[in-house]
Structure 1
Amino acid sequence: MDPADTFAASRTRMEEMLARLSDPLMMACTQEVLEDYVTVAGRELMRQIMQDQLDARATAEERRREVTGADGVMRTRAERGHVRLLATTVGRVEVSRIAYRSPASKVGNLHVADAELALPAQLYSRPLQRAVVHEAASGSLRQAAGAVQRATGQMIGTRQLMEICVRAAADINAFYVAPPDAAALRAAAGELLVLSCDATGVNMIPAGLREATRAAAEAQAQAGPQPPSAQLADRERGGRRRMATVTAVYDAAPVVRTAADILPRTAAERETRRREAPRARQREVHASLQLTTAEMIAAMFDQAERRDPEQRRRWIVLVDGNNHQLERIRDEAGRRGIHVDVVIDFVHVLEYLWKAAEDLHPTLPARQTHVADMARTILEGHASRVVADLNAHARARGLQEDSRSAQLPRLQRAIAYLKAKQPCLGYDLALALGWPIATGVIEGCCRYLIKDRLDVTGARWSLTGAEAVLLLRAMIDNGDFDAYWEYHGRLEYERQHTARYQQDFVVAA
């Protein structure tokens, strides 16, 4: 073919587009009509340009004498004109290439041009997959399908969208194994290394539940339907949720504070309070529905050790007080011989103090005063004094030790919580050393990663789909998408092309 004719179809389409723009109807149209036409026609023009370029490559493809696959079978026969479809961000195109075949039966064809162009194994091009991942990770699949169609003109079903996401998330865990560079390690020297974890539930289809949850749901179903309730929305979640564990590791410069900076009592303290707090830097968050809490906490410690391999920094663990998480954290730290300082989230302590005050005081002003006094006392390092005062309040009401739980349940829960967590309530020392005392970072991660996407009304997830979306959201939130997409592309090329040949091919620039 004459090189001058390579893009003849594209030039023809361009001339048709320009002629249409010049006709009287288009010259009199509104700007909205003009823009809509240019968008659609321009996309078709770009598709034609891509098709012409691919056709020119197919014509110029040189026949190889032989191609040997990874199976050791030599393909000596070559047939031109083998075509495959490729859905791109500008439309669907056909890629024609030489198929190398073997006389032996049951030996698959090889297409060297696919490797040279780094074509994906599936229908959808990598730029289109990238657009799908961003849309599906940020909104529902139906919304993602609509957004992709508006942006690219491509109609993709929700099942195909999820398949793209699952495949795109396949290498995320491996991507995060690499340690940070030396410059990042030096920049964080002297800062606190903060670890935090939390968990929240996701509505699943029955096949996605853990075995114990599924068995409980089946037993409940056999017991008969639930009675009518004004809180049906909460009741119907029983036996439908699987816990997702979220972890975060970040650096934070110490900021020395006092109890008066957190809860000032007087106008003078409010005037002079220090409002600055330790700020998270270089935050890295991970989440999983498939992995257990123990596995996620082990991965969190792995991540922290990559940041501080010689364990020269102060390790702070911030949690909300979940006993299972605390046990796994202490077990993991003991197994590795690492000293960690565990701090219970102060906001959770406040919640228990409010519950106790609701049992003790009938009016809101009295509760506010009591909670403020108790919270300030705990911040000053006297949690045992608050526990003693709460016990004294219970005794003053003439309640016996064994009956308090039934008559003042919230008070009893607060007392039990403070007693159990007292070793981790040393806020006076934490503030003096500049440590953070609240789990706002991990709470925000749970809300963004899970509540804003996986916990939308009416959603019920398969385990594979939910895990993929969760991994993608965490990776995007970490700001690692571009680096990961390049890494994932290299691994996909090795799996789909390099592994199929004994030869090495140069990827087209």
Structure 2
Amino acid sequence: MRRPSLEAQPFAATYTRLDEMVGHLSGPVMMSCTAEALEDYVTTEGRELLRRMMQDQLDSRAATEVRLPRVTGSDQVVRCWAEPGHRRLMVSALGRVETTRIAYRALKAGNLHPADAVLSLPAQAYTRPLQRHAVHEAASGSLRQAALNLERTTGQRIGTRQLMEICEGAAADIPDFYQAQLDAPGAGQGPDVGDLLVLTCDATGVNMIEKDLREPVRAAAAARSGPQPPSAQLSSRTRTGKRRMATVTAVYDAVPAGRRAARHRRPAPQPRARPPGHRPRGPRLPGALHHPDGHRHVRPGHRPRPRTPAPLGRPGRRSEPPTRLPAKRSRHTRVKIDIVVDFIHVLEYLWKAAEDLHPAGPARAACVDALARTVLQGHSARVVADLRAQARTRRHDGPAQLPGLDRAIAYIEAKEPFLAYRIALTMGWPIASGVIEGCCRYLIKDRLDITGARWSLTGAEAVLLLRAVIDNGDFDAYWHFHAQRAHQRDHTSHYQHEYATAA
């Protein structure tokens, strides 16, 4: 079939470029080239061909745009002056293109471009497919590496600051997205009636720039900002004074797995088969830096199926203890919540107490085993009394510094209402926070704690939320939701009459 003359068709540049590529591929140079050279040529020139195709389509739209008699904005100003030829640059995954449209103007009022609403152009110059690619790269590795990967795969150079701005904009609607899911009819249906609804939380530090530290931490850092005396001692990584706590919450369903306290902490002469444990199903991983309460996405009262909520907390000293947070939520949702403190965390305090009591390794391990078994059997008060008696004996013999022992006594006594491990094991509830430890390591440490990284509050919050959405498997649904919200903000809200997104 004969093509019409190139001057008469709207995609003339596309056809011209396609003919040039076909002619070059049919020439003697490409006929004798290697497969690598062939693929490189088709990839590079094919991207340019697609960019020209996109540009020709935008030019065709501009040529056929219909002039409206008037456009009324949300400010109630009628714009009757139509001025064609207004250009806007778009940076796409294929390259830079321009769109030309009619601007509707009025005195002392901003221009309106209905063609932009039809295209649903984002507020930034970067198109949404390129932004989506950038979000995946920035959420998985450093910003510099993300920029290099984008340049290698798309040919587009994006600075690290622009990448962070893209991430902050992309994460703006994540809280509303999960709230809409919870408010939807039938949300939460699916698990069996007898399943556990487990809520587990933890917090870990993120290196922050000075202006985004909390006020007490910033004041302490300013007090230490003077010249320091020379020292050969390495600085402590745990108390740098440059961190802000990020709270991560995991919510999942689990089938109860009953156990006995005697099966735990029992020495085995040879390896035994591991008894069946909890297998998390349908996990959700919200996280937060702005709010110490990381449970703002978690509302068990919106789950219509009658299941047993079983929060598992690992309290931290720099934020409100997670044992208080579910109790606050339960007063509003009228759901009975049983709270269990992470047994591994209790075990850490027992080891600190044993270090003060027994300098030898074998005796220390035997002491921890005995104390841990007593706690698992539901006798934490007996452990506190035993540790107090040993502390009095040591101090009666002479002045002794027992910081680990004192901290263990204070901790176990304060958390005693949440140490009912005998009941938890009998009911088949989880007692250790291995799930949330893995979540903290993956969501935060693997990305926010890479060497040399220091974060702003908004940037760290955006990357943390995006990683949670991606890991939850909700990114495709969220991106559609985000595109609709962005269209509402950037276009629909500017007009008296709505311009809906095209199907």
Q: Please give the TM-score of this superposition, normalised by the length of structure 1.
A: 0.89
After the TM superposition, which residues 488-499 of structure 1 pair with which residues of structure 2 at under 5 Å, given as runs?
A: 488-499=482-493
CA distance in 2, matches of 1:161, 1:192: 40
Aligned partner of 1:340 among 324, 332, 337: 337
Shift in alpha-carbon separation, 1:508–1:330, aligned structure 2, 3 A: closer
Name 2:197's counterpart in structure 1.
193
Aligned partner of 2:300 among 304, 308, 323: 304
Q: Would you say the 8 A contact 1:249–1:304 is kept in 2?
A: no
CA shift digits 1:203-230 (9 cap, x unpaired):
11111111111111112225x4255243
* Aligned residue type for 2:372: A
Which structure 1 residue ranges, 5 or more long, are not aligned? none
After the TM superposition, which residues 260-299 of structure 1 pair with which residues of structure 2 at under 5 Å, given as runs?
A: 260-266=262-268, 271=272, 275-291=275-291, 293=292, 295-297=293-295, 299=296
Q: CA deviation at 1:365?
A: 3.3
Name 1:80's counterpart in structure 2.
84
CA distance in 2, matches of 1:229, 1:477: 43
Shift in alpha-carbon separation, 1:36–1:262, aligned structure 2, 3 A: farther
CA distance in 2, matches of 1:372, 1:22: 78
After the TM superposition, which residues 131-150 of structure 1 pair with which residues of structure 2 at under 5 Å, given as runs?
A: 131-150=133-152
* Aligned residue type for 1:360: L
* Aligned residue type for 2:172: A
Name 2:373's counterpart in structure 1.
376
Shift in alpha-carbon separation, 1:507–1:392, aligned structure 2, 3 A: closer
Name 1:9's counterpart in structure 2.
13
Between 211-220 and 499-508, report the one with greater CA deviation: 499-508
* Aligned residue type for 1:306: H
CA distance in 2, matches of 1:441, 1:79: 59
Q: Which has the higher helix share?
A: 1
Matching of residue 459 in structure 1 with residue 453 in structure 2:
yes
Q: Would you say the 8 A contact 2:208–2:456 is kept in 1?
A: yes
Name 2:52's counterpart in structure 1.
48
Q: Residue 33 of structure 2 aligns to a residue in which SS?
A: coil
Instruction: Give the number of aligned pairs.
Output: 494
Q: Residue 104 of structure 2 aligns to a residue in which SS?
A: strand
Aligned partner of 1:161 among 163, 182, 195: 163
CA distance in 2, matches of 1:240, 1:148: 31
Shift in alpha-carbon separation, 1:336–1:184, aligned structure 2, 3 A: closer
Q: Would you say the 8 A contact 1:205–1:461 is kept in 2?
A: yes
CA distance in 2, matches of 1:229, 1:314: 54
Shift in alpha-carbon separation, 1:259–1:41, aligned structure 2, 3 A: same
CA distance in 2, matches of 1:402, 1:385: 25
CA shift digits 1:388-421 (9 cap, x unpaired):
444454455x4339955x1x33233323322332
Q: Would you say the 8 A contact 2:299–2:333 is kept in 1?
A: no
Q: Residue 121 of structure 1 aligns to a residue in which SS?
A: coil
CA distance in 1, matches of 2:379, 2:280: 28
Q: CA deviation at 1:331?
A: 4.4
Name 1:225's counterpart in structure 2.
228
CA shift digits 1:344-398 (9 cap, x unpaired):
11111222222233333344333333333332332222333333444454455x4
Name 2:416's counterpart in structure 1.
422
After the TM superposition, which residues 392-411 of structure 1 pair with which residues of structure 2 at under 5 Å, given as runs?
A: 392-394=389-391, 398-400=394-396, 403-404=399-400, 406=401, 408-411=402-405
Name 1:38's counterpart in structure 2.
42
Between 211-220 and 372-381, report the one with greater CA deviation: 372-381
Aligned partner of 2:355 among 354, 358, 366: 358
Q: CA deviation at 1:336?
A: 5.5
* Aligned residue type for 2:404: R
Q: Would you say the 8 A contact 2:299–2:329 is kept in 1?
A: no
CA distance in 1, matches of 2:501, 2:294: 37
Shift in alpha-carbon separation, 1:328–1:33, aligned structure 2, 3 A: same
Aligned partner of 1:19 among 18, 23, 41: 23
**Percent identical residues:** 55
Q: Residue 111 of structure 2 aligns to a residue in which SS?
A: coil
